[in-house]
Structure 1
């Protein structure tokens, strides 16, 4: 019997230490947290040192101008008038007891999107109502109405509130974000800097579609999810969160959510597309939460694994360049039942290639439901294999 080289044991031990550091950090279903932006200090400093671009006018030249026609202005006025009363303030009250006055943690915006039976329903951002002991909705006429939080979802940064229907006369018309084009008119309505500037309107265009924004769901400043957003240059400021982004017809096409707040950046704001928000709003309204399919794994990108470990420990051929190395398989999870093990390298889910946990979760959450069966393609000790699993809902532990 030949003696196994000691170096193999060292490789496995060091690789185990490498991958264990990631275990539990990227579990596919622990969804708590919010949206974050990061910019390195070096990037910030270098950007601040750059000179601002200057437009020079030579003698005899003319500066291009944009003529805004009466028809265009009138169209925007009509669009705003159609929806403005459906845009409300949302006050987060975080301190309530018998002995002291209540304290307002912050104020954002919301949109009344539905009126049914004796209730009206308001969509806003999760971060607007997060941590609230009570929530008030401030109607366009200034009246304060107590609201019930029906449900929140940190992953999409959405929340649904309910107020008495007899207080509401105007409901926003839902449009379609799938029909948008870059350059289309975009109008943001909300309460920048609080109720003092309630109902503020800013106009711009759709600057970009399908922009990717990272979401940190566990506070470790590592992205656990990537959400698609609409980019607009219509001014969005603190307090606009949860307000309406509408098109030239006055239809709701997005929920204003965030902006890049850096001194060297101007006119880059983001809204959650209404077509992605609709199914989330429906679930929050009816069940109070968004239930997503669960696999029960954590893992790291194969691209982050040192080449010698990929070769000697995972036994992968050099042709395998992308995949997810499993760091942990939860006991009694769908992945465990399907026979997946630590150090397996997933390269496909159904016919879709995956190179990161973000891509895997994106496919699951956007295309699959609880009870669906998926096919997993993976490598184990260098051999290509497949297995099937039925997706389930994560059990509360």
Structure 2
């Protein structure tokens, strides 16, 4: 019968062992004990696997792993200290009454990106300065200097300002937004809710790249453009518009533009990537506007037109359920010269299907001034094509 240790003292008397038996038992015990000590000793002295996990240098097979301690807080603090002066406040001043009195209509942020002598260039959002009769820049020391509008672009929501001052020393550097990865830490700097919170810094990560959001660029209530943006969870609030989204090295990878403002949505800020910002500000500096090809038509998405007009007015075949309807044509425009007319329905642009006005505009702006394109359209139920030579957009068409 077997007994456990608690019951052993109550068990029957066992026969006595011989001295030889005691010797063998003792010898075996010594051998087992020595083996056990040899196994456990490295752990007690810090030489076992548990101790290795705490070492700075570890040997795992043939590879050496180094544990490096990085103080991220110190790196971020230093970076912010180095670049915070490159973000300024932008004040939109408008006339408030018939007597010509002016007042602040709103404020935003801007990024200093270029300096030529005492002339300083600042990029901000178009919507920050839209409608302004005067623009002022608020510097970190609280002083204000008047700014001139070099040019702006509603479609990309960007504007370039310039000021003459010897107070500005720091200049921001652009990074490459194409190299940004999801999960990468970023810093947003701007003036949320006005100048009272000037120079506010928020930290987050890149939540998504190459996001597209519908934009109503002409204010008619219908999206007519898909803006490509970076998505971040760094807090971006009203007043942050035009401020900088920076990588951990302090390079500007985006210009903060918008936040999805819905009660059920939190932590979604959007920033115009630097790869799109740079060519726009170059055009604005050089021409005062962004030069783009245009067709010279007024247009509307087929999906925005009552379906009974598809067959009754436009006389479209039953299989045509998407496209862009020509609502008007400038006779001297590229489209007018190519023979397009009112109520033509464009379904193809240079070999690509056109679903709506957003599609058509995106395809158009991928082309260059002077390019020739083939447009496929329907007129009174018949499929036609037109060869169009693109020219520079008229000021009235922008």
**Contact map agreement 1:188 1:243 (CA 8 A) in 2:** yes
Which consecutive residues of structure 2, in runs of 5 or more, have no partner in the other structure?
Answer: 1-68
- Counterparts in 2 of 1:138-153, with a 5 A limit? 138-153=138-153
Secondary structure of 2:279 counterpart: helix
Quote the residue 2:207 is aligned against. Answer: 207
Q: Distance in 2 between matches of 1:379 and 1:218?
A: 26
1:175-203 CA distances to partner (integer Å, 9 max, x unpaired)? Answer: 11122222111210011122221111000
1:314 Cα offset (Å): 4.8
> What is residue 284 of structure 1 aligned with on the other side?
284
Partner of residue 11, structure 1: none
Counterpart CA distance in 2 for 1:164 and 1:80 is 25
In the other structure, the counterpart of 1:388 is 387
Does the CA contact (< 8 Å) of 2:303 and 2:356 recur in 1? no
CA–CA distance in 2 between the matches of 1:102 and 1:337?
46
Between the aligned partners of 1:306 and 1:132, the Cα distance in structure 2 is 39
> Aligned residue for 1:171?
171
Question: Is 1:244 aligned to 2:259, yes or no?
Answer: no
Q: Residue 45 of structure 1 corresponds to which residue in structure 2?
A: none
Residues 381 and 236 of structure 1, relative CA distance in 2, 3 Å threshold: same
Which residue pairs with 1:219 in the alignment?
219
Instruction: Tell me, in whole angstroms, the C-alpha distance in 1 between the residues paired with 2:239 and 2:72.
Output: 27
Distance in 1 (CA, whole Å) between partners of 2:231 and 2:279 is 21
C-alpha separation between the residues in 2 aligned to 1:134 and 1:300? 35
- 1:254-308 CA distance string (max 9 Å, x none): 1111112233221111111111111111111222122322212233434456666
- The structure that has the greater radius of gyration is 2
For residue 171 of structure 2, give the secondary structure of its aligned residue in structure 1: coil
Tell me the equivalent position of 2:368.
369
Unaligned regions of 5+ residues in structure 1, if any?
1-68
Instruction: Give CA-to-partner distance per residue, 1:56-87, whole Å, 9 cap, x none.
Output: xxxxxxxxxxxxx7532233223322321101
Q: Deviations over 1:110-137 (max 9, x none)?
A: 0001112331100011121122222111
Contact 1:116–1:165 (CA<8 Å) still a contact in 2? no
**CA contact under 8 A between 1:294 and 1:334: conserved in structure 2?**
yes
Distance 1:74 1:361, change over 3 A: same
Comparing 153-162 with 325-334, greater Cα deviation is found at: 325-334
The SS at the match of 1:166 is coil
Instruction: State the secondary structure of the residue aligned to 1:174.
Output: coil
What secondary structure does 1:77 align onto? helix
TM-score, normalization: structure 2?
0.75
Deviation at 1:363, TM superposition (A): 1.6
How large is the RMSD of aligned CA atoms in angstroms? Answer: 2.5
Secondary structure (helix, strand or coil) at the match of 1:149 reads: strand
Native 8 Å contact 1:79 1:247 kept in 2: no
Is the alpha carbon distance of 1:143 and 1:389 closer, same or farther for their aligned partners in structure 2, counting shifts above 3 Å?
Answer: same
Partner of 1:161: 161
The aligned length equals 327
Q: How far, CA to CA, are the matches of 2:161 and 2:223 in structure 1?
A: 28
What is the alpha-carbon distance in structure 2 between the residues aligned to residue 333 and residue 138 of structure 1?
43
Q: Provide the secondary structure at the position in 2 that maps to 1:272.
A: strand
